[in-house]
Amino acid sequence: MELSIVKNYEELSQRAANKVIAIAESTDQPINISIPAGRTPKGMYHDLVDYVKDHPGCFDHISWYTLDEYINIPKGSALSCLTKLTHLFYEPAGIKKDKIFSFNTEAEDFNKEAERIEALISETGGLRLSILGIGRNGHVGFNEPGSERDSRTRVMTLQAKTLEQSKVYFTEDVLPPKEGITLGIQTLLESEEILLFANSTEKEAIIHEVVEGDISPQVPASFFRESPKAELIIDEEAAKRLSVRK
């Protein structure tokens, strides 16, 4: 994994957006990219929306996959990651509906739903890029601590720290659902490129573990450290506890 430490959130967002743009511009063949909700990618989406306004059609060959999603919530719920991605990115960037792939939050059988998305990705050439935020407990997507390296797309019970962290996403007096569905660690490791990013002092402890701690299911993001296809971009605040900064 390549580690890049940048000055601040603006720079981190621009770097992440530039990676997406470079990949988009490198080909006119159809490609798949998986993207997260959460706070970390907001600046990147803002920059991507700015870019597409000046370069109409530049993302037309990209199919976008939602990295993870809450389950057993109504379609279109404000809680849904797809709803957030729609507001932040799909709508303002003019991404067409047939290029947006997401988990059905109302599926009858979520194991089958996981298989459906996994099959869709592999049948269409795999993921060209996966973009991953990092939870304060080291999760990526909803791959919670305890997730194995060879895990594939599946349903997960969310842990207390994740539920606590998730509260900040919701303005209404509604607790986030306790279960989610997520692309698996192995599914993500098979991407041609993987971009992880994290900012702010809130992430300094987990970034220390991801970069300098044990590689273990207890810190799912640590599995990406061994991948030469992965890049971790962090700002100076998130890098504070790293020995390379001392």
Catalytic positions:
68, 137, 139, 144
Query: What DSSP letter does each residue of 43-66 carry, written as one string?
Result: HHHHHHHHHHHHSTTTTTTEEEEE
Does 39 interact with ligand GLP (rule: CB under 6 A)? yes
Q: Which residue, 53 or 103, has its beta carbon nearer to ligand GLP?
A: 103
Instruction: Report the amino acid identity of residue 127.
Output: L
Over the window 120 to 149, marking each residue x when it contacts ligand GLP by CB under 6 A and - when it does not, the resulting string is -------------x-x-----xx-------
- Residue with smaller CB distance to ligand GLP, 25 or 164: 164
- Tell me the pairing of strands 2-6 and 100-101: unpaired
Query: With b meaning 16 or more CB within 10 Å and e meaning fewer, what string describes 116-130?
Result: bbbeebeeeeebbbb
Least CB distance to ligand GLP at residue 18 (A): 19
Smallest separation (angstroms) from ligand GLP to the CB of 129? 15
| Residue closer to ligand GLP (CB basis): 58 or 77 | 77
Joined tokens for residue 134: 């990092």
DSSP states of 65-80 as a string? EESEEESSS-TT-TT-
Q: At what angle do helices 9-25 and 42-54 cross, to 10 degrees?
A: 50
SS3 174: coil
Give the Cα separation of 151 and 207 in Å (integer).
22
Segment interacting with ligand GLP (CB under 6 A) among 21-29, 32-40, 121-129, 215-223: 32-40
Check binding of 210 to ligand GLP (CB under 6 A).
Answer: no
Determine if residue 65 is left, alpha or beta; phi over 0 gives left, psi from -120 to 50 gives alpha, anything else beta.
beta
38: region left, alpha or beta (phi > 0 left; psi from -120 to 50 alpha): left
Stretch that binds ligand GLP, among 33-41, 91-99, 100-108, 205-213 (CB under 6 A): 33-41
Least gap, CB of 172 to ligand GLP (angstroms): 17
**Would you give the binding string for ligand GLP spanning residues 163-202, x where CB under 6 A is met?**
---x------------------------------------
User: Between residues 39 and 225, which has the closer beta carbon with respect to ligand GLP?
Assistant: 39
Residues in contact with ligand GLP by CB under 6 A are 36-40, 67-68, 133, 135, 141-142, 162, 166
